[in-house]
């Protein structure tokens, strides 16, 4: 997507960023090292299975961070995001050989004065993994 640091004003309905990110087992290990989240459900199939999961899952905060990263890359300045929140709808199962394809779309929902409300849709195989993912962006 285009860097939006000098873009014209947003309009509700505008898709301002879209990307598909491959999340691999290596991604999970790197995130674990950076975040300190070494829960074995994020890297061991046997532990994930014992916990009732269908396989190793991505860290929720990794998924949340990847989603907002698509928007901040398009904005060109991460400090323009003044608020961000979401709920986790389902796990991102990371196949050992294929990974998971996380598809993210950022759509303008509302524009007010000096801010825009941007909805972030994050899905894997068409199923939403984040819900109520909304960022407030300074214009």
**Domain-embedded: residue 121:** yes
**Domain-embedded: residue 87:** yes
**Domain-embedded: residue 81:** yes
Domain of 44, CATH number, reads 3.10.129.10
Q: Give me the pLDDT at residue 1, please.
A: 53
Domain that holds residue 25: 15-138
Dist. CA 115–CA 78, nearest whole Å: 14
Buried/exposed code over 75-106 (b: 16+ C-beta within 10 A; e: otherwise): beeeebbeebebebeebbbbeeeebbebbbbb
**Domain-embedded: residue 72:** yes
**Domain-embedded: residue 23:** yes
The sign of the CA dihedral 53, 86, 71, 31 is: negative
**Domain-embedded: residue 133:** yes
pLDDT in tens, 71-89: 999 999 999 999 999 999 9
**Domain-embedded: residue 4:** no
Q: Give me the pLDDT at residue 35, please.
A: 97
State yes or no: pLDDT of 4 exceeds 80: no
What is the number of domains present in the chain?
1
**Domain-embedded: residue 112:** yes
């Amino acid at each position: 997507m285009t860097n939006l640091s000098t873009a014209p004003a947003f309009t509700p309905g505008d898709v301002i960023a879209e990307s598909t990110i491959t999340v691999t087992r290596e991604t999970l290990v790197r995130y674990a090292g950076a975040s300190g989240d070494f829960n074995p459900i994020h890297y061991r199939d046997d532990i994930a299975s014992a916990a009732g999961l269908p396989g190793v899952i991505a860290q929720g905060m990794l998924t949340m961070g990847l989603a907002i990263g698509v928007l901040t890359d398009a904005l060109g300045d991460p400090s323009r995001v003044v608020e961000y929140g979401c709920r986790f709808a389902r796990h991102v199962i990371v196949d050992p050989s294929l990974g998971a394809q996380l598809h993210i779309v950022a759509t303008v929902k509302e524009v007010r004065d000096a801010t825009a409300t941007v909805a972030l849709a994050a899905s894997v195989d068409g199923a939403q993994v984040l819900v109520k993912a909304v960022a407030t962006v300074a214009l």
